[in-house]
Chains A and B, each alone.
Chain A
Amino acid sequence: MKLWRWLWLLVTLGVLVEGFHVALFVVPPDSAQGNVQRIFYYHIPSWAGMGLFFAINLGCSLVYLAVRNRNHGLAMKADSLAVASAEMGVVFCFIGLVTGSLWGRAVWGIWWTWDARLTSTLVLWLIYVAYLLLRRFAAGPQMRTLAAVMAIFGYLDVPLVYMSTRWWRTQHPAPVFGGAPGSGIDPSMMPAVWWNLAGWLMWGIFVASLRYVSEYRTQKAEQAEALKSLEFAPGQTQMAGGRS
Chain B
Amino acid sequence: MTALLEAQGLVKRFGGLVATNNLSLDVQAGECHALIGPNGAGKSTLIAQLAGELPSDAGSIRFDGQDVSRLGMAARARRGLVRSFQITAVLPEFTVLENVALAVQARLGRHYGFWRRAAGQPALRDPARQVIEDIGLTARAGAKARELAHGEQRQLELAMALATEPKLLLLDEPMAGMGSEESRRMVALLQRLKGRVSMLLVEHDMDAVFALADRVTVLVYGGAVATGTPAAIRADPVVMEAYLGTDDGGWEGAA
Mutual binders A and B: no
Task: Give A residues with C-beta under 8 Å from B.
Answer: none
Task: Give B residues with C-beta under 8 Å from A.
Answer: none
